[in-house]
A and B are shown apart, each in its own frame.
Chain A
Amino acid sequence: MVARPAPAPVPGALADRPVRRDGPPPATEGDVWALLSQIPDPEIPVISITDLGIVREVALDGRAVRVAITPTYSGCPATFVIAIAVEAALLDAGLTPTVTSRIDPPWTTDWLTEAAREKLRRYGIAPPATRGPEACPHCGATTVTQVSRHGSTPCKAQWRCDACAEPFDYFKCH
């Protein structure tokens, strides 16, 4: 039999990796939130996971920290990557993390921060609004047309500006 290559490392098995640590571990839950606010969304890196509103709870008890994350869409592949990034960041900070998934109450785009909406706009993604995109994120025109109800990731739809004719992503209201 031909020898098969060793399996790839299992995500989540992070405990044995070398820890990068500068300074003392976070001492308050506020410090942990600040740390988490530095972790970018893997698919829209201009916004952080706290901007996205998916960190639902942080509970710090000495060096042990519990973080509850909610998925945006139930099949979003980024959820898994985010959980690994959170675990890695907390380990690097000298904490012992337990990362859990919490689906109740379900994520809604209402939890996007105002800062996140502005960052999306500047990045070229129209932020969610009840009646579809309010304006083209490129030129600001308000005459826009839906191209498709879905886009490159579960959270986006494809639209086009009637004024500048550029296509753009719209972060769907959810």
Chain B
Amino acid sequence: MSSERVVIVGGGHGGFQMAASLRSEGFSGGITLIGEEPGLPYQRPPLSKAFLKDGDAARLHFRPQAFFETNNIELIPGTRVSRIDPARKHVTTATGDAIGYDHLVLATGSRNVRPPVANLHLDNVLTLRNLADAADLRARLSGARHVLVIGGGFIGMEFAAVAADFGVAVTVIEGAGRLMARTVSGAVSKHFLALHEGRGTTVRLGRFVSELIDDGTGRVAGVRLADGTRIDGDMVLIAAGVTPNSELASEAGLAVSDGIDVDEFLRTSDPAISALGDCCNFPDPVSGNRVRLESVQAATDHARAIARRLTGKPAPYAAVPWFWSDQSHFKLQIAGLGSGADEQVALEPESGGLVVINFASGRLLSVETVNSASAHMSARRLLASGRPVAQADLAAHNYNLVDYARAV
């Protein structure tokens, strides 16, 4: 047994995967996983989907308690790390305990942004990031008549879909001119706008909320927009994006920009410290641009890459990004990163759904699909092959990704 110790800060998707992958890659030293949240590490995506309906928290755990014992992973939940001392190689918890490391992995994730809106403190104004938030939201949703969602990104729209299923009236207010604008193409935004409107949800695009309205008892009664319009509602979800938890790193003197800076091996500016997932930005192997992704795929593939490096098998990070969002019975899937696209082909296959193929300089960049798992998986396979896919070649196959992936 090696006497090395890896300490992981943050017991979310990436932190859990880090511990599990170190063991599956054969690491025999000590592993300490310190997380601020109580209980066993759990999955976040269902919090805005199935969990709001079934409320079953036990189903969210990645693994039972026994897994941590069997794999000799020391799990310290309910504990916040408040400081890193890179010179002495230890972290200090909020209760003052010092825990030494040979290698440290920062998997602190991100937190919700508090937008510049007056009266955010009112009762029935909620956010959604962790299990406690989701349980609160679920409990209050059944008593709500009209929920107002501030922010038309993935989490806001997933929540809107569930709330509509509960028979609650929903109004979404989004500052941008279209839904999920940061990540999806215009064609996909349009598709989902029609979906949500078709289910009775009101979507106000290009509008900013300036203040929340007090009903006189400290509870929210609606919102006022920057143009003076008032919209009534008895519950508000703030879903206006996230910001990386990178303060621990910056206070320890590590390089930080939009999140913690890491190189293609997921190393921070201190070689004894790595960072992964939502809290870090890394060089995208395709474009070379620095990107920060908020996805299960990035957190878990980062963790696997770090585990391989720490067990003597280093390789530059090269995984194909993928993402999904479930809204009602529509499943959006994205393979690759679309930024920098200069041409786009949108198809509506006979089987239903939507396929949007994005190209840059005549080369396949990313694919967005709605209810088309085979096109999505074909795109992932093509992008992972490392061979450039020319638009002309795809055009020769009528842009049928499945046919093309089979043919090459």
Partners in one complex: no
By a beta-carbon cutoff of 8 Å, the part of chain A in contact with chain B is none
